[in-house]
Structure 1
Amino acid sequence: MISPLTPDALRKICPPESLPFEATDELKPLDEVVAQDRAVEAITFGVGIRCEGFNLFVLGPAGAGKMTAIKRFLASEAAKLPTPPDWCYVNNFVDPQRPRALCLPPGRARVLQADCERLLAELKTGVPRAFESEAYEQNRQTILEELQKQTSDELEALRKRADALGFGLAKTASGFMIVPMLRGKPLKPEGFEGLDEEIKQQVGLRMEEVQKDLAATRRRIRDLEREAKNRLDGIDREVATSAVDHLIEEVKDNYADHAAVQAHLEAIREDVIANVDLFRRDQTGAQGQPDPTAMLRQGMDPFDRYRVNVLIEQGENGGAPVVVEPHPTCQSLLGRVEHQVQMGALYTNFLMAKAGALHRANGGFLVLEAMELLKQFFAWDQLKRTLKHRRIRIEEPGEQFRLYSTVTLEPEPIPLNVKVVLIGSPWLYYLLHGYDPEFQELFKVQAEFSDRVTRTPDTILTFARLLSTCCGAEGLKSFDRGAVAKLVEHSSRLAEDQDKLATTFSHLLDVAREACFRAGRNGHQRVTAEDVRTAISAKIRRANRLEELLQELVLDRTLLVDTEGAVVGQVNGIAVIQLGEYHFGKPSRITARAFLGRGGIIDIEREARMGGRIHSKGVLILSGYLGGRYVQQTPLALSASLAFEQVYEEVEGDSASSAELYAILSSLSGLPIKQGFAVTGSVNQRGEVQAIGAVNAKIEGFFDVCRARGLTGEQGVLIPASNVRHLMLREDVVEAVAAGQFQIFPVHTIDEGIALLAGREAGDCGPEGTFPDGSVNGLVQGRLREMAEQARAYAGETPAASPAADRHDAEVG
Structure 2
Amino acid sequence: GLTMRRPGYNLYALGPAGIGKHFVFDRYLKRQAAAEPAPKDWCYVFNFAEPQKPRALGLPAGRGGELRREMEELTAELRPALRVAFEREDYQNRRRAIDSEFEGREESTLGKLGEQAREKGLVVMRTPLGMICAPARADEVLSPEELDKLPAGEQERIRRDIETVGKELEDLLAQVPRWQRERKEKIRELNREVTSFAAGALLDDVRKSFADQEAVVRYLEEVEQDILDNAPEIVGGEDEDDGEAILGQYRVNLLVDNRETRDAPVIEEDNPTWQNLLGRVEHIQEMGTLITDFTLIKPGALHRANGGYLVLDARKVLLQPFAWEGLKRGLQAGHLKIESPGQALGLVSTVSLEPEVIPLAVKVVLVGERLLYYLLAALDPEFPELFKVAVDFEEDLDRGEESQRLYARLVAQMIRQEGLKPFDSGAVARVLEHGSRMAGDALKLSLHSRELLDLLREADHWSGRESPVVTADDVARAIDAQIHRLDRARERLQEEVRRGTILLDTEGAVAGQVNGLSVLQLGTFSFGHPGRITARVRLGEGEVMDIEREAELSGPIHSKGVLILTGFLGERYAFDQPLSLAASLVFEQSYAGVEGDSASLAELCALLSAISGIPLDQGTAVTGSV
> Could you tell me the TM-score, scaled by structure 1's length?
0.74
Contact 2:234 2:247 in 1 (8 A): no
Task: Tell me what 2:436 maps to.
Answer: 492
1:593 to partner: Cα distance:
2.3
Distance across 1 between alignment mates of 2:344 and 2:442: 58
What SS class does the counterpart of residue 533 from structure 2 fall into?
strand
1:89 offset after TM fit, Å? 1.1
CA spacing shift, 1:572–1:73, aligned 2, 3 Å? same
Identify the residue that residue 138 of structure 1 maps to in structure 2.
93
Unaligned 5+ segments in structure 2 are none
Partner of 1:668: 611
SS at match of 2:311: strand
Residue identity opposite 1:361 in structure 2: A
1:268 aligns with 2:223: yes
Amino acid of the residue matched to residue 669 of structure 1?
Answer: S
Deviations 1:53-88 (A, max 9, x none): 111111112211110111011111100111111111
Q: How far did residue 398 of structure 1 move? A: 2.5
Which of 478, 482, 507 in structure 2 is aligned with 1:539? 482
Partner in structure 1 of residue 37 of structure 2: 82
Which residue identity does 1:650 align to in structure 2? G
> Equivalents in 1 of 2:182, 2:449: separation in Å?
85
Task: Give yes or no for contact 2:310–2:364 (8 Å, CA) kept in 1.
Answer: yes
Following TM superposition, by how much is the alpha carbon of 1:393 offset from its aligned partner in structure 2, in angstroms?
Answer: 1.1
- Residue 645 of structure 1 pairs with residue 588 of structure 2: yes
How is 1:751-762 mapped onto 2 (pairs within 5 angstroms)? none
Q: What is the CA–CA distance in structure 1 between the aligned matches of 2:477 and 2:124, rounded to whole Å? A: 115
Q: Are 2:512 and 1:569 equivalent residues in the alignment?
A: yes
1-structure distance, mates of 2:611, 2:159: 140
Number of the residue aligned with 1:251 = 206
Please state how far the C-alpha of 1:140 moved relative to its aligned partner: 1.2
Displacement of 1:460? 2.1
Q: Which residue of 2 aligns with 1:627?
A: 570
- Give SS of 2:532's match: strand
Structure 1 residues 583-639: Cα deviation after superposition (integer angstroms, max 9, x where no partner): 111111111222334482222222222111111111111211111111122234543
Amino acid at match of 1:423: V
1:563 maps to amino acid: T
Residue 324 (str. 1) matches residue 279 (str. 2): no
The one-letter code sitting in structure 1 at the alignment partner of 2:114 is R
Q: Please state how far the C-alpha of 1:165 moved relative to its aligned partner.
A: 4.5
- State the SS of the aligned residue for 1:75: helix
8 A Cα contact 2:573 2:579, kept in partner: no
Q: Which amino acid aligns with 2:543?
A: G
Consecutive unaligned residues in structure 1, runs of 5 or more: 1-45, 285-290, 684-813
Following superposition, the deviation at residue 115 of structure 1 comes to 1.4
Question: Could you tell me whether the CA contact under 8 Å between 1:323 and 1:367 is conserved in 2?
Answer: yes
Shift, 1:199, TM fit: 6.9
Report the Cα distance in structure 2 between the residues aligned to 1:649 and 1:346, rounded to whole angstroms: 60
Aligned residue for 1:437, secondary structure, equals coil
Structure 2 counterpart of 1:273, which letter?
Answer: L
SS in 1 for 2:183: helix
Q: Which has more radius of gyration?
A: 1
Whole-Å Cα distance in 2 between the matches of residues 240 and 535 of structure 1?
78
Q: How far has the Cα of 1:205 moved from its partner?
A: 4.7
Pair 1:526-2:472 in alignment: no
User: Percent identity among equivalent residues?
Assistant: 47
Give the direction of change, closer, same or farther, for the CA distance of 1:204–1:639 in structure 2 (3 Å limit).
farther
Match of 2:67 among 112, 116, 133: 112
Question: 510, 528, 531: which is aligned to 1:588?
Answer: 531
Residue aligned with 2:423, SS? coil
Asked if residue 459 in structure 1 is aligned to residue 408 in structure 2, the reply is no
User: Could you say which residue in structure 2 is the equivalent of 1:680?
Assistant: 623
Cα distance in 2, alignment partners of residues 441 and 247 from structure 1: 51
For residue 424 of structure 1, what is the aligned residue in structure 2?
368
Change (3 A) 1:202 1:609: farther
What's the secondary structure of 2:464's corresponding residue?
Answer: helix
1:154 is the counterpart of 2:154: no
Q: In structure 1, what is the Cα distance between the partners aligned to 2:428 and 2:314?
A: 34
**Match 1:396 to one of 318, 330, 340:** 340
Q: Which residue pairs with 1:507 in the alignment?
A: 451
Measured against aligned partners, the alpha-carbon deviations of 1:4-53 in whole angstroms (never above 9, x if no partner) come to xxxxxxxxxxxxxxxxxxxxxxxxxxxxxxxxxxxxxxxxxx11111111
Give, in whole Å, the separation in 1 of the partners of 2:523 and 2:204.
70
5 Å-filtered alignment, 1:232-243, equals 232-243=187-198
What amino acid does structure 1 have at the position aligned with 2:582? S
Whether the 8 Å CA contact 1:128–1:279 is kept in 2: the answer is: no
Give the C-alpha shift of residue 254 in structure 1: 1.7
Corresponding residue for residue 165 of structure 2: 210
Corresponding residue for residue 48 of structure 1: 3
Deviations 1:192-212 (A, max 9, x none): 678888776665554443332
Classify the secondary structure of the residue corresponding to 1:256.
coil
Distance (Å, rounded) in 2 between the aligned partners of 1:618 and 1:190: 131
Q: Does 1:517 align with 2:472?
A: no
Aligned with 2:300 (options 326, 346, 356): 356
Amino acid at match of 2:606: A
**Cα shift at 1:236:** 1.2
CA contact (8 A) 1:88 1:308 kept: yes
Give the Cα separation in 2 of the matches to 1:144 and 1:322. Answer: 64
Give the C-alpha shift of residue 168 in structure 1. Answer: 2.8
1:548 aligned onto 2:491: yes
Q: How far 1:255 moved relative to its partner?
A: 1.5
What is the 5 A alignment of 1:290-301? 301=245
| 3-state SS, counterpart of residue 113 of structure 2 | helix
Letter in 1 for 2:43: C
Q: Is 2:377 aligned against 1:433?
A: yes
Other structure's SS at 1:517 match: helix
Tell me which amino acid in the other structure corresponds to 2:470: V
Cα displacement string for residues 705-724 of structure 1 (whole angstroms, at most 9, x for unaligned residues): xxxxxxxxxxxxxxxxxxxx
CA–CA distance in 1 between the matches of 2:176 and 2:420? 93
- Quote the residue 1:476 is aligned against: 420
2: CA distance, partners of 1:62 / 1:609:
34
**What CA deviation, in whole Å up to 9, does each residue of 1:321-358 have, x standing for no partner?**
10111111111111111111111111211111111111
Rate the CA distance shift 1:404–1:682 in 2: closer, same or farther, 3 A: closer
Provide Cα deviations, 1:511-544, integer angstroms capped at 9, x if missing partner.
11111101016x3210000111111011101110
Report deviation, 1:411. Answer: 1.1
- Provide the secondary structure at the position in 1 that maps to 2:470: coil
Name the counterpart of 1:338.
282
Instruction: Give me the whole-angstrom Cα distance separating, in 1, the residues matched to 2:320 and 2:45.
Output: 31
Q: What is the alpha-carbon distance in structure 1 between the residues aligned to residue 11 and residue 148 of structure 2? A: 100
Query: Do residues 379 (structure 1) and 311 (structure 2) align?
Result: no
The 1-side partners of 2:119 and 2:562 are apart by 131
Supply the distance in 1 between the matched residues of 2:556 and 2:550 (Cα, whole angstroms): 12
1:601 equivalent in structure 2: 544
Query: What displacement does 1:150 show?
Result: 1.1
- Worse-matched range after superposition: 561-570 or 100-109: 561-570
Letter in 2 for 1:50: R
Distance 1:282 1:99 in 2: 29
Q: CA deviation at 1:181?
A: 4.1
- Alignment map for 1:152-191 (pairs within 5 Å): 152-181=107-136, 185-189=140-144
Task: Tell me the residue number matched to 1:766.
Answer: none
AA in 2 matched with 1:440: P
Q: Secondary structure of 1:328's partner? A: coil
Q: 1:403 to 1:54 in 2, by over 3 A?
A: closer
Q: State the alpha-carbon separation in 1 of the partners of residues 156 and 547 from structure 2.
A: 127
In the alignment, the residues of structure 2 paired with residue 307 and residue 413 of structure 1 have an alpha-carbon distance, to the nearest angstrom, of 19
Distance between the aligned counterparts of 1:431 and 1:606, measured in 2? 31
Give the conservation status (yes or no) of the 8 Å contact 1:571–1:673.
yes
**Contact 2:547 / 2:586 at 8 angstroms: preserved in 1?**
yes
For the residue of structure 1 that corresponds to 2:538, the secondary structure is strand
Aligned residues, how many? 626
Equivalent-residue separation in structure 2 for 1:571 and 1:178 (angstroms): 131
